[in-house]
């Protein structure tokens, strides 16, 4: 029998606000333990949490960028569970009235992965286990999160990967999160089930918790798919349970089964008041959104004629794409710039992190200046590329590396004169060429090119040389 | 009435040992507690109608960092913690 895979994702996105969600402690990664804490984020009795205005703004931005409706009234709820990472014994989250609902992310295939809702909540503390003892660092407790919950619309591990990459990219573009997986600023819980091909009835699902690598998430989905199918084929029944993925063995193990599934006793948090928004406020935020990666991709391919492969590289990181956008101002042929970025500039940036940061010495207007010299025919590509390398090393403008005479180009008369001199000075090479050695012409060409200091056009020179020799 | 099994289960979860003779007393006492709390059921509570809930909205804090408490102050309530952390010793 053939099976359909059914996957839903719940993704936690850590917001890059300056402060925590309910107090003014710093939202900072990597501080000394328990140094970004106060009685509010430690849940001491008698303290009163107040929602961070910026978190609401970011949640709306995210919602709009993910094609969601924004609820004009939303509320905070308590999710009750007892664990050392939660000093209040409840997490403040949104359950009954989340801030955004009914959105989607469109995959390259055109398929839409529906988003059920987005809610705001606080992160829990970090637990460190040493020798059986537990150490708790509450710096992360109260860090603002958005949870983006999809419908079970994903039907392969590749789609899950693409969805998550797109979500990551969009969150970075709108500036609400760095989405650094290695720092845990984006994590997801994966719901997996299988059903007979084409069937309407969903199978029993298992949930893999806390995936913080896209590669492992894809592997975990594939592993679970096989495991489910094997159980069903052998006449067994899938047990609904929560799992942990083990990268070392590429397998999953049970964390808890449905029988001891927690009842979170959600209820409205009486410490926090309603969040009431106006349509004007939402529209204002909508107007402040930047162009999103999907829109830029389409523009690059359809309007600029850039290849899809190159366009993917350009939009992947916002810094790169912003750089490109400002470097192409006023240019007719923007491909020169995209080639410079993907070629020469990327070559100087080794890691993905460096590409993402895109900290280079050359400013976009300097690239623009260079490209304009090429476009106007004042500088040939050969010299431009040489100049670019020096520009990238020094941060100096193109005018430092090309002289007035370089930019003047070279006339056909001048080239002819140089060719004639070269033919006179290299009688042997000429003889060799006439006796059939094609290579001999290359030597002549090289010496003329050198004399033009790269300004000449090799094809044109070759043509002139042949003309002289054959005469 | 709360059952004998329920009492034993709660005792087990609370890591309490109950003598055979104590079980029946515990049943009665817990029943009394639950019945006392049941009085609340008689009150007509519709949270939506509580005025405090609807009169205020949008109480926000500005996203500006204020100084947190020093680490030793934070750990004061747990005897100073260990190595800057709250510390939970392994229990067997
Ligand atoms: Zn705090």
- A-chain CB neighbours of B68 within 8 Å are 25-26, 35-38
Taking CB atoms and an 8 Å cutoff, what residues of chain A touch B78? Answer: none
Q: pTM of the predicted model, to two decimals?
A: 0.80
Retrieve residue A108's tokens: 């390259």
Helix (H, G, I), strand (E, B) or coil at B36: helix
Ramachandran angles phi, psi of A96, nearest 5° = -80, -40
Distance (Å) from CA A86 to ligand 1 centroid: 13
* CA of A48 relative to ligand 1 center, distance in Å: 11
Give the whole-number percent of chain A exceeding pLDDT 90: 71
**What count of Cα atoms within 13 Å lies in the side-chain half-sphere of residue A294?**
18
How is chain B split into domains, by residue range?
4-41
Instruction: Kindly tell me if the per-residue pLDDT of A220 is higher than 70.
Output: yes
pLDDT greater at residue A15 or residue A348: A15
Where do the domains of chain A lie, and which CATH numbers do they carry? 3-284 (no CATH), 291-408 (no CATH), 412-469 (1.10.10.410)
Residues A426-436: what's their mean pLDDT? 84
Protein residues with C-beta less than 5 angstroms from the ion ligand 1 = A 23, 25, 38, 40-41
Across the A:B interface, residue pairs with CB atoms under 8 Å apart total 107
Contact B74 A23 (CB under 8 A): no
Q: How far is CA A133 from the centre of its chain?
A: 38
The more confidently predicted of residues B47 and A430 is A430
List pLDDT tens digits, range B45-60: 766 655 555 578 999 9
- Per residue in B9-19, pLDDT (tens digit) is 888 877 788 89
Tell me if A227 sits within 8 A of A236, measured CB to CB. Answer: no
For tokens 């609820």, name the residue. A71
Ligand 1 centroid, distance to B65 Cα (angstroms) = 10
Q: pLDDT by residue (tens digit) across A143-184? A: 999 999 999 999 999 999 999 999 999 999 999 998 887 778
- Sorted by sequence, the CB contacts under 8 Å of residue A61 that are 6+ apart come out as A174, A175, A176, A285, A288, A289
Q: What is the pLDDT of residue A353?
A: 85
pLDDT over 90 at B42, yes or no: no
CA-wise closest residue to A448 among A471, A416, A470: A416
Residue B34: strand, helix, or coil: helix
Using a CB-CB distance cutoff of 8 angstroms, which residues of chain B are in contact with residue A273? Answer: 53, 56-59
Q: In what order do the strands lie in the sheet with A100-106?
A: A69-70, A100-106, A112-122, A144-150, A3-14, A186-196, A206-211, A241-246, A251-257
Please name the member of B56, B65, B90 whose beta carbon is closest to the beta carbon of A24: B65
Residues of B within 8 A of A56 (CB-CB) are: 60
pLDDT digits (tens, 9 = 90+) for A272-325: 999 999 999 999 999 999 999 999 999 999 999 999 999 999 999 999 999 999
> ipTM of the assembly?
0.79
Give the H/E segment covering residue A189. Answer: strand A186-196
Q: Which of A382, A379, A361, A357 is nearest to A370 (CA)?
A: A379
CB contacts of A39 in chain B (<8 Å) are 69
pLDDT at A238: 93
A37: contact with B, CB 8 A cutoff: yes
Residue in the structure block whose two tokens are 């090309």: A402
Q: What are the strands of the beta sheet with A133-137, ordered from one edge? A: A126-130, A133-137, B86-88
| Chain centre to alpha carbon of residue A158 | 16
């Amino acid at each position: 029998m053939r099976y359909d895979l059914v996957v839903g994702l719940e993704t936690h996105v850590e917001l890059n606000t300056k402060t925590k969600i309910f107090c003014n402690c710093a939202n900072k990664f990597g501080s000394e333990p328990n140094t970004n804490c106060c009685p509010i984020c430690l849940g001491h009795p008698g303290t009163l949490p107040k929602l961070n205005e910026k978190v609401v703004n970011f949640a709306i931005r995210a919602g709009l960028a993910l094609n969601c409706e924004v609820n004009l009234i939303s509320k905070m709820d308590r999710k009750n569970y007892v664990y050392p990472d939660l000093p209040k014994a409840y997490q403040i989250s949104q359950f009954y009235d989340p801030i955004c609902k009914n959105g989607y992310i469109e995959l390259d295939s055109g398929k839409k992965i529906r988003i059920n809702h987005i809610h705001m909540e606080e992160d829990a503390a970090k637990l460190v286990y040493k020798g059986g003892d537990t150490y708790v660092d509450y710096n992360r407790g109260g860090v603002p999160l958005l949870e983006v919950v999809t419908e079970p619309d994903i039907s392969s591990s590749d789609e899950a990967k693409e969805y998550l990459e797109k979500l990551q990219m969009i969150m970075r573009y709108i500036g609400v999160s760095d989405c650094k997986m290695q720092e845990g600023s984006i994590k997801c819980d994966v719901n997996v089930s299988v059903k007979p091909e084409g069937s309407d009835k969903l199978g029993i699902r298992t949930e893999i918790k806390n995936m913080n690598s896209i590669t492992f998430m894809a592997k975990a989905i594939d592993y679970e798919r096989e495991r489910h199918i094997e159980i069903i084929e052998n006449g067994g029944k899938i047990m609904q349970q929560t799992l942990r993925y083990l990268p070392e063995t590429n397998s999953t193990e049970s964390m808890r089964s449905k029988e001891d599934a927690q009842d979170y006793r959600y209820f409205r948090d009486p410490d926090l008041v309603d969040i009431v928004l106006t349509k004007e406020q939402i529209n204002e935020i909508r107007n402040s959104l930047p162009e999103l990666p999907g829109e830029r991709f389409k523009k690059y391919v359809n309007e600029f004629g850039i290849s899809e492969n190159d366009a993917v590289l350009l939009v992947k990181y916002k810094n790169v794409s912003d750089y490109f956008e400002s470097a192409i101002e006023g240019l007719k042929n923007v491909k020169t710039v995209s080639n410079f970025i993907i070629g020469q500039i990327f070559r100087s940036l080794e890691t993905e992190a460096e590409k993402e940061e895109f900290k280079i010495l050359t400013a976009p207007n300097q690239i623009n200046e260079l490209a304009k010299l090429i476009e106007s025919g004042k500088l040939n590509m050969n010299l431009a590329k040489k100049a670019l390398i020096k520009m990238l090393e020094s941060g100096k403008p193109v005018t430092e590396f090309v002289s007035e005479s370089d930019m003047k180009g070279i006339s056909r008369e001048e080239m002819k004169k140089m060719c004639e001199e070269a033919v006179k000075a290299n009688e042997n090479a000429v003889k060799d060429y006439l006796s059939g050695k094609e290579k001999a012409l290359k030597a002549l060409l090289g010496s003329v090119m050198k004399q033009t200091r790269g300004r000449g056009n090799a094809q044109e020179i070759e043509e002139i040389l042949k003309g002289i020799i054959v005469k | 009435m709360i059952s004998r099994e329920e009492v034993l289960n709660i005792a087990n979860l609370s890591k309490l040992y109950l003598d055979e003779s104590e079980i029946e007393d515990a049943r009665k006492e817990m029943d009394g507690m639950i019945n006392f709390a049941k009085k609340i059921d008689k009150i007509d509570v519709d949270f939506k109608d509580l005025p405090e809930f609807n009169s205020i909205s949008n109480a926000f804090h500005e996203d500006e960092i204020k100084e947190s408490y020093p680490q030793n102050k934070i750990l004061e309530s747990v005897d100073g913690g260990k190595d800057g952390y709250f510390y939970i010793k392994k229990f067997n």
